[in-house]
Amino acid sequence: MKKIKLIIMTLAIAFSIGGAFATAPRLPQDCQGATQYYFNGGYVLAGRLGVDYICVTPSSAVCTYYKVGSTYTPCMNGVYCTSNCRSSNPSPKKAKN
Partner 1 sequence: MNKRQVVLESISALLIMLFLYASVSKILDFDRFIGEMNNQPFPNSWTPFLVWTVPSLEIAISLALIFERTRMVGFIASLVLMTLFTIYTGAILLHFFAYVPCSCGGVIRKLSWPQHLVFNLFFVALSVMGIILQRRSFFKSILITKNSFV
Closer CB to partner 1, 50 or 69, in the complex: 50
62: contact with partner 1 by CB under 8 A: no
CA 22 to chain centroid, in Å, comes to 18
Is 28 a binding residue for partner 1 by CB under 8 A? The answer is no
| Alpha-carbon span 34 to 29, nearest angstrom | 9
Distance between CA atoms of residues 1 and 43, nearest Å: 63
The residues of the shown chain that bind partner 1, judged by CB under 8 A, are 1, 4-5, 8-9, 11-13, 15-17, 19-21, 23-25, 30, 32-33, 48-51, 54-58, 78, 85-88, 90
